[in-house]
């Protein structure tokens, strides 16, 4: 009997993009996760450095950037401050 081939694992950023593209309710946090990762890299900050500024652990930052559990709004505010960004949350009525 032949062994079954395992499907290729979906990489974290690909998973985030899929969520955004499919309109998954997690799109909001996926988009933020990607922006956090991009901004952190752009300013040359490590996950550990960001974690220290935010008052959390490196593994929590890694989970956020992978699109794991959505962060609390107060954590997002601390991350935005550490990354010298504004956190903008907006509510818009759905189109009919």
Q: Which domains does the chain have, with CATH numbers?
A: 12-82 (1.10.260.40)
Query: Which of 76, 75, 74 has its CA nearest to residue 31?
Result: 76
- pLDDT value for 8: 65
Residue 11: half-sphere exposure toward Cβ, Cα within 13 Å: 3
Residue 81 has pLDDT above 70, yes or no: yes
Q: Tokens representing 20?
A: 């955004």
Cβ atoms 64, 71 nearer than 8 A: yes
pLDDT band at 74 (very low <50, low <70, confident <90, very high): very high
Question: pLDDT confidence of 24, banded at 50, 70, 90?
Answer: low
Nearest to 36 by CA among 95, 81, 1, 90: 81
- Cα–Cα distance for residue pair 4/6, rounded to 1 Å: 6
């Amino acid at each position: 009997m032949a062994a079954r081939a395992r499907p290729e694992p979906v990489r974290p950023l690909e998973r985030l993009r899929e969520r955004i593209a499919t309109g998954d309710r997690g799109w909001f946090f996926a988009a933020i996760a990607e922006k956090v990762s991009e901004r952190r890299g752009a300013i040359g900050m490590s996950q550990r450095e960001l974690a220290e500024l935010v008052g959390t652990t490196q593994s929590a930052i890694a989970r956020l950037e992978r699109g794991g559990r959505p962060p609390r709004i107060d954590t997002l505010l601390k991350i935005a401050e550490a990354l010298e960004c504004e956190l903008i949350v907006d509510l818009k009525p759905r189109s009919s």
